[in-house]
């Protein structure tokens, strides 16, 4: 009787632990500087003074570390503030970079929304979008986002 009762307690506690155990996966961590470039019809270049204010440095997905983050561009005595307002991933294709759309808001003279297409591969997120602000026709950015603490592959 004692063996049966002990077995029942062990089974119940292991089932309870399995239900409350955290999901395994990766933690995404933003590393290093954010590089922002611009293009117009005649030329292109990098913004020299970029301030990046992440909403979170690390968490479990892009939405949690990017939405609400701000990129501040200081150029020619003008301040352009870009805020990431949404991110939506495309359907994942195995063996291909992750892609999707980032919704941005320009909080300068007038609030204006625009979209950027992103690609994520080899711990590098790159995004590019068309926007007409000041002399700039297109803006792109690059940032390192490392996948750390990933779960080991399950054995079959």
Mean pLDDT taken over the chain: 84
pLDDT band at 110 (very low <50, low <70, confident <90, very high): confident
Confidence check: pLDDT of 150 > 50: yes
- Report the pLDDT averaged over residues 125-133: 91
Confidence check: pLDDT of 35 > 60: yes
CA atoms of 140 and 50, how far apart (whole Å): 12
Confidence check: pLDDT of 12 > 60: no
pLDDT at residue 151, as a whole number: 55
Model pTM score: 0.78
Q: What is the pLDDT of residues 58-75, one digit of tens each?
A: 999 999 999 999 999 998
Residue 132 CA: distances (Å) to CA of 40, 41, 82, 87, 142? 9, 11, 13, 21, 20
Share of the chain above pLDDT 70, in %: 78
Q: What is the pLDDT of residues 40-63, one digit of tens each?
A: 888 899 999 999 999 999 999 999
- Report the pLDDT averaged over residues 93-101: 95
């Amino acid at each position: 009787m004692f063996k049966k009762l002990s077995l029942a307690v062990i089974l119940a506690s292991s089932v309870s632990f399995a239900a409350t155990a955290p999901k395994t996966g990766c933690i995404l961590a933003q590393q290093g500087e954010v590089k922002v470039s611009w293009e117009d019809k005649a030329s292109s270049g990098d913004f020299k003074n970029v301030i990046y204010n992440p909403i979170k440095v690390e968490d479990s997905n892009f939405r949690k570390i990017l939405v609400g983050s701000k990129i501040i561009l200081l150029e020619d005595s003008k301040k352009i503030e870009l805020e990431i307002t949404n991110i939506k991933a495309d359907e994942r294709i195995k063996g291909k970079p992750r892609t999707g759309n980032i919704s941005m808001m320009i909080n300068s003279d007038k609030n204006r929304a625009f979209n950027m297409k992103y690609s994520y591969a080899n711990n590098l997120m790159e995004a590019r979008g068309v926007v007409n602000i000041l002399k700039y026709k297109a803006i792109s950015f690059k940032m390192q986002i490392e996948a750390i603490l990933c779960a080991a592959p399950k054995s079959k």
